Chains A and B, each alone.
Chain A
């Protein structure tokens, strides 16, 4: 136990400087800063995100509330209400995540660009990251290319057996009960991320449709369905995740149901979907791209720190 912060004073100052630069960046581009609640009656149904929950007392029936895993739902409700381009800086919560690059409570920078394509958002992401981390080159790599180059497998065409074999070979994991997505996640984290470490800044694009989350889906050059989603890796660290946002209320409702079905199969708790988000989508979400960037990881990269504990004043081990 220690009462002291994990950060040095210099690192606190660096964090404040990066926050201020970020706010300047968006102010110059007329993107509005917004603050939405951390508590919501609906939670993230994502099968592999665990929410903290709490209880609102003082009502006839106590109401369960979720601490947000990202500010996405509220920000989309603002977009549907006609906010125009918006950004938010603030805390998010993900239960059970704790490592040198995970903390159950962390800061997210999330922004939305109504009317913009994913490519335009990618350009703006480069501009922001250049401002915060210094200018550098960016590579563009599709999920498929990354797998073919690093793992030697086609991620969409390879058989489940081939994927399991490659997963076991690189990690020793017992692979017989891994499904396709589990194999892909394992290979990304054990083979591709380490390979990206040497590559500087890389945009990984065209994720499998099964990993679309809240992204729209299109066909790739070979006709495989892929998510309109990119991730930015910096020195092998997953820094940001962007979507061409799903705008169909029907499909969103369907994905909520599928997520909860998958949760049931995995023996994970059911999550109440955000009914207000569905209403907002029905009212009409403008076509928009959106991105979430892990701000603490960015501070870590900017200051050359080796863990989040060194850039968060008090990481969970000090709470």
Chain B
């Protein structure tokens, strides 16, 4: 892949740092008045998810990471891999392993579109849409006026995820969930 110099650094740029693909989150120009300039980068390691900081001398180069984020529709899981299909009409399929899936298995639904991050063509991360609609598979019947737990109760969704929902929610209802916080938003 090509190299980029510090003056081209910007948020969102994907580069190779210490052998791993990383995404730049924040780029700061640092310069003592009469001194040398540096570029400090805050980044997320796309393999581990960890956030770190690294400084470069002005003019230094780093290798661009072969990282792509594409929209893919979830098809099925065979127990070992989760299979997704490109939405560009090519019907091309890709299998993501458990590590790439991470917590996203909690929000998996057939025919829903997910963002799959490919590194050198292989999936390293799958992220759910910010909001998703899921059905309640199990929850206790709500008792009117029961506010002992702040007016909410646990509900198990069709994916197995457990979220807190208002007391009036019943089994079989479809709910809108914010996947970033894992919180109930509304009835769908």
Residues of A within 8 A of B (CB): 46, 48-49, 96-100, 102, 171-174, 177-178, 181-182, 184-186, 188-190, 211, 213, 231, 238, 241
Interface contact B55-A181, CB-CB below 8 Å: no
Give Cα A174–Cα B39 distance, bound, in whole angstroms.
Answer: 12
11 extra A-B contacts, CB within 8 A, seeds A173-B57, A184-B35: A99-B30, A99-B31, A100-B28, A173-B38, A174-B60, A178-B57, A181-B36, A185-B35, A185-B36, A185-B38, A190-B55
Interface contact B36-A48, CB-CB below 8 Å: yes
Interface residues of B in 16-57 (CB under 8 A from A): 28-38, 40, 52-57
Give Cα A190–Cα B52 distance, bound, in whole angstroms.
Answer: 15
Interface contact B34-A211, CB-CB below 8 Å: yes
With beta carbons under 8 angstroms apart, the residue of B34, B53, B55, B56 that contacts A48 is B34
Interface contact A186-B29, CB-CB below 8 Å: no
Interface contact B38-A231, CB-CB below 8 Å: no
Interface contact A186-B31, CB-CB below 8 Å: no
Give Cα A188–Cα B60 distance, bound, in whole angstroms.
Answer: 20
Q: Which of B29, B34, B36: most chain A Cβ within 10 A?
A: B34
With beta carbons under 8 angstroms apart, the residue of B29, B31, B36, B55 that contacts A172 is B55
- Residues on the A chain within 8 Å of B60, using CB: 174
- Residues on the B chain within 8 Å of A96, using CB: 7, 37
Interface contact B32-A188, CB-CB below 8 Å: yes
- Residues on the A chain within 8 Å of B55, using CB: 171-173, 186, 190
Q: Whole-angstrom distance from the CB of B161 to the nearest CB of chain A?
A: 37
- Residues on the A chain within 8 Å of B54, using CB: 171-173
Main secondary structure of the interface of B (DSSP, over half): strand
* Known contacts A181-B35, A182-B36, A211-B35; A189/B30 CB under 8 A: yes
Q: Name the interface size band of chain B.
A: 20 to 34
Interface contact A241-B34, CB-CB below 8 Å: yes
With beta carbons under 8 angstroms apart, the residue of B31, B35, B36 that contacts A102 is B31
Interface contact B57-A182, CB-CB below 8 Å: yes
* Known contacts A173-B55, A182-B57, A190-B55; A99/B29 CB under 8 A: yes
Give Cα A211–Cα B118 distance, bound, in whole angstroms.
Answer: 47
With beta carbons under 8 angstroms apart, the residue of A99, A172, A241 that contacts B52 is A172
- Residues on the B chain within 8 Å of A211, using CB: 34-35
* Known contacts A48-B36, A48-B37, A213-B34; A99/B53 CB under 8 A: no
Interface contact A172-B35, CB-CB below 8 Å: no
- Residues on the B chain within 8 Å of A213, using CB: 34
Closest to A207 in B: B34
Q: Whole-angstrom distance from the CB of B166 to the nearest CB of chain A?
A: 39
Give 13 CB contacts A-B under 8 Å: A97-B37, A99-B31, A102-B29, A172-B52, A172-B54, A173-B54, A173-B55, A177-B57, A182-B57, A185-B35, A185-B36, A186-B55, A188-B35
Closest to A240 in B: B33
* Known contacts A97-B29, A98-B29, A99-B29; A172/B34 CB under 8 A: no
- Residues on the B chain within 8 Å of A177, using CB: 57
Q: Whole-angstrom distance from the CB of A264 to the nearest CB of chain B?
A: 15
Q: Whole-angstrom distance from the CB of B183 to the nearest CB of chain A?
A: 30
Interface contact A238-B28, CB-CB below 8 Å: no
Q: Whole-angstrom distance from the CB of B95 to the nearest CB of chain A?
A: 35
Interface contact B33-A241, CB-CB below 8 Å: yes
Closest to A167 in B: B55
Closest to A177 in B: B57
- Residues on the B chain within 8 Å of A238, using CB: 32-33
Q: Whole-angstrom distance from the CB of B149 to the nearest CB of chain A?
A: 41
Closest to B56 in A: A173
Give Cα A100–Cα B53 distance, bound, in whole angstroms.
Answer: 18
Closest to A178 in B: B57
With beta carbons under 8 angstroms apart, the residue of A100, A171, A174, A189 that contacts B32 is A189
Q: Whole-angstrom distance from the CB of B38 to the nearest CB of chain A?
A: 6
Give Cα A105–Cα B60 distance, bound, in whole angstroms.
Answer: 25
Interface contact A48-B29, CB-CB below 8 Å: no
Q: Which of B28, B29, B32, B33: most chain A Cβ within 10 A?
A: B33
- Residues on the A chain within 8 Å of B57, using CB: 173-174, 177-178, 182
Q: Whole-angstrom distance from the CB of B101 to the nearest CB of chain A?
A: 30
Give Cα A80–Cα B34 distance, bound, in whole angstroms.
Answer: 24
- Residues on the A chain within 8 Å of B7, using CB: 96
Closest to A192 in B: B32
Closest to B36 in A: A185
Q: Whole-angstrom distance from the CB of B26 to the nearest CB of chain A?
A: 11
With beta carbons under 8 angstroms apart, the residue of A100, A171, A174, A189 that contacts B35 is A189
Interface contact A48-B35, CB-CB below 8 Å: yes
Interface contact B32-A172, CB-CB below 8 Å: no
- Residues on the A chain within 8 Å of B38, using CB: 171, 173, 185-186, 189
